[in-house]
Structure formats: C-alpha cells, structure tokens
C-alpha cells in the first residue's frame, strides 16, 4: 500500500470553503475514482493555515491513473470552478509518499 500525505497551504479566509468542498463533494469523488481518504488534520497552529490528509493507493501507477480520472471528472471541474469563484483556495500543495515498514504492524 502507498500512503500519500497531502499538505495544503490554504489561502487566508478559505479554510471553511475548503472544508465544505471536501465534506460535500471531494470525499465522494475520491471514492468514485478508487481513492480512500483515511484521515484529516488541521495544523494545531492556526496561523499556519494548513490542512493535511492521507490518501491510500494500491500503487503509484494506480494513484496517477485515479488522479487523472478525478481531475478530468466533469463534476470535479464544476465543483472546483464554483468553490473558487472568489479566488483559489490554495497557495501551495505538497505530497509526501510513504510505505509501511516491515518491523511494525499496526493492529
């Protein structure tokens, strides 16, 4: 399993809109395209204005294919357009890819 930690630097005043977009649309759209979000966090220092979340993928190849389908989904294109009418929600996005280690089992 491949785990993708996505880090969003959120533009000032846009965190609530981003939360709404995930809650109302993105979680279901990711599932539609074979991606499972396992956890969300906000930075404990609100001044950082960051959102973090983990997406599980079977492999990097499937990750890339699923994101390509997601990005081209007409529903996503419209959700993004509407949610960003007052400007982009993010100033930066970063992904860190991780895999399990053999010596630890989380049960």
Q: Is the pLDDT of residue 88 over 80?
A: yes
Of the chain, the percentage scoring pLDDT greater than 70 comes to 98
The half-sphere exposure of 90 on its side-chain side, counting CA atoms within 13 A, is 14
Q: Which residues, including other chains, have CB under 8 Å from residue 10's CB and lie 6 or more apart?
A: 18, 49, 50, 51, 89, 90, 91
Do the beta carbons of residue 63 and residue 4 sit within 8 Å?
yes
Cβ count near 57 (within 10 Å): 20
pLDDT in tens, 17-67: 999 999 999 999 999 999 999 999 999 998 999 999 999 999 999 999 999
Q: Is the pLDDT of residue 107 over 70?
A: no
Domain boundaries, the chain: 2-99
What pLDDT is stored for residue 105 in this prediction? 78
Model pTM score? 0.90
Distance, CA of 92 to CA of 7 (rounded, Å): 8
Fold of 2-99: Alpha-Beta Plaits (3.30.70)
């Amino acid at each position: 399993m491949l785990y993708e930690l996505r880090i969003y630097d959120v533009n000032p005043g846009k965190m609530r809109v981003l939360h709404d977009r995930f809650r109302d649309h993105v979680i279901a759209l990711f599932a539609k395209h074979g991606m499972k979000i396992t956890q969300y966090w906000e930075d404990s220092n609100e001044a950082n204005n960051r959102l973090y979340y983990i997406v599980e993928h079977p492999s990097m190849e499937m990750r890339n294919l699923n994101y390509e389908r997601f990005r081209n989904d007409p529903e996503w294109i419209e959700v993004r357009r509407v949610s960003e009418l007052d400007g982009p929600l993010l100033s930066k996005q970063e992904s860190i890819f991780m895999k399990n280690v053999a010596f630890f089992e989380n049960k």
